[in-house]
Amino acid sequence: MNQETGASQIPESIPGWGSLEFSRRMGLKALGVAAAAGGAGALSQSAASYAASGSNVIKIGYVTPQTGALASFAGPDNYVLKLVKASQYFAKGIKVGATTYKIQIIVADSQSSPTTAAQVTTQLIQAQGVDIIVTSSAPETTVPVSTVCEQAGIPCVSTVCPWEAWYVGLGGTLSATGAAQSGAFKYCTTFFFGVPEFVNCFLPMWNRVQKQTHAAKIYAGMFPNDADGNAFRAAFPPIVAAETKNAWKFIDGGAYQDLSTNYTSMIQTFKSGGAEFFVNAPLPPDFNTFWKQASQQQWRPKLATVAKVMLFPTDVYALGSLSNNVATDAWWTPYAPYKSSLTGMTAKQFAIGYQQFTGQQWVQSMGSTYSLFEVVIEALKKVKNPHDRSAVANALHHVNYTGISGPMNFNAKTSPAPGVAIIPPVGIQWKPGSKANVGGKVWPWSPYVVDNTLNKQVPLTGVLRPTNK
Partner 1 sequence: MTWLNIVIQGALVGGFYALFACGLSLMFGVMKVINLAHGDVAVVAGYTAVFLAPKFGVSPLWSFVVVVPVFALLGYVVQRTLIQKSIDRDPFTTLLVTFGLSVLIENLLLEVYTANGQSINIGSLIGSSFQLSSTIYISYVSLVVLGVAVAVLGALQIFLGHTKTGRLIRAVSDDREAAQLSGANYRHIFGIAAGIAFATVALAGIAYGMTTEFAPSSGVTNLIYAFEAVVVGGIGSLWGTLVGGIAIGIAQQLGEHINPEYQVLAGNLLFLVVLAVRPNGLFGKKTAPS
Closest CA to 309 of 294, 329, 332: 329
> Please, which residue, 256 or 370, has the CB nearer to partner 1?
256
Output DSSP code: residue 56.
S
Helix (H, G, I), strand (E, B) or coil at 76: coil
> Please, which residue, 75 or 416, has the CB nearer to partner 1?
75
CA distances for 250 relative to 75, 254, 455, 466, angstroms: 35, 12, 27, 19
> Please, which residue, 90 or 290, has the CB nearer to partner 1?
290
Question: Which H helix or E strand runs over 77?
Answer: helix 77-86
Shortest approach of partner 1 to residue 447 CB, angstroms?
17
> Please, which residue, 163 or 270, has the CB nearer to partner 1?
270
Shortest approach of partner 1 to residue 73 CB, angstroms?
10
Q: Give me the amino acid identity at 40.
A: A
231 backbone dihedrals φ, ψ, rounded to 5°? -65, -40
> Please, which residue, 307 or 347, has the CB nearer to partner 1?
307
Q: Give me the amino acid identity at 9.
A: Q
Shortest approach of partner 1 to residue 9 CB, angstroms?
13
Return d(Cα 154, Cα 134) in angstroms, integer: 10
Shortest approach of partner 1 to residue 298 CB, angstroms?
6
Return d(Cα 66, Cα 263) in angstroms, integer: 31
Question: Which H helix or E strand runs over 402?
Answer: strand 400-403
Return d(Cα 244, Cα 111) in angstroms, integer: 41
Contact predicate 138/117, CB 8 Å: no
Query: Which sign does the torsion angle of CA 256, 258, 261, 266 carry?
Result: positive
Q: How many residues does the chain have?
A: 469
Shortest approach of partner 1 to residue 112 CB, angstroms?
8
Question: Which H helix or E strand runs over 347?
Answer: helix 347-358
Shortest approach of partner 1 to residue 406 CB, angstroms?
28
Closest CA to 118 of 42, 51, 31: 31
> Please, which residue, 231 or 376, has the CB nearer to partner 1?
231
Contact predicate 418/442, CB 8 Å: no
Shortest approach of partner 1 to residue 64 CB, angstroms?
13
Could you give the angle at the alpha carbon of 294 between the alpha carbons of 290 and 296, nearest 5°? Answer: 115
> Please, which residue, 48 or 70, has the CB nearer to partner 1?
70
Range 168-187 burial, b when 16+ CB lie within 10 A, else e? bbbebebeeebebbeeebeb
Shortest approach of partner 1 to residue 194 CB, angstroms?
26
> Please, which residue, 261 or 414, has the CB nearer to partner 1?
261
Shortest approach of partner 1 to residue 289 CB, angstroms?
4
> Please, which residue, 116 or 341, has the CB nearer to partner 1?
116
Shortest approach of partner 1 to residue 10 CB, angstroms?
13
> Please, which residue, 72 or 173, has the CB nearer to partner 1?
72
CA distances for 23 relative to 11, 44, 129, 151, 224, angstroms: 12, 21, 27, 16, 16
122 backbone dihedrals φ, ψ, rounded to 5°? -60, -45
Could you give the angle at the alpha carbon of 458 between the alpha carbons of 452 and 460, nearest 5°? Answer: 65
> Please, which residue, 192 or 287, has the CB nearer to partner 1?
287
By the criterion CB under 8 A, which residues form the site for partner 1?
67-72, 75, 112, 225, 253-257, 259-266, 268, 284-285, 288-289, 292-293, 295-298, 312, 314-315, 317-322
Return d(Cα 243, Cα 249) in angstroms, integer: 13
Shortest approach of partner 1 to residue 428 CB, angstroms?
19
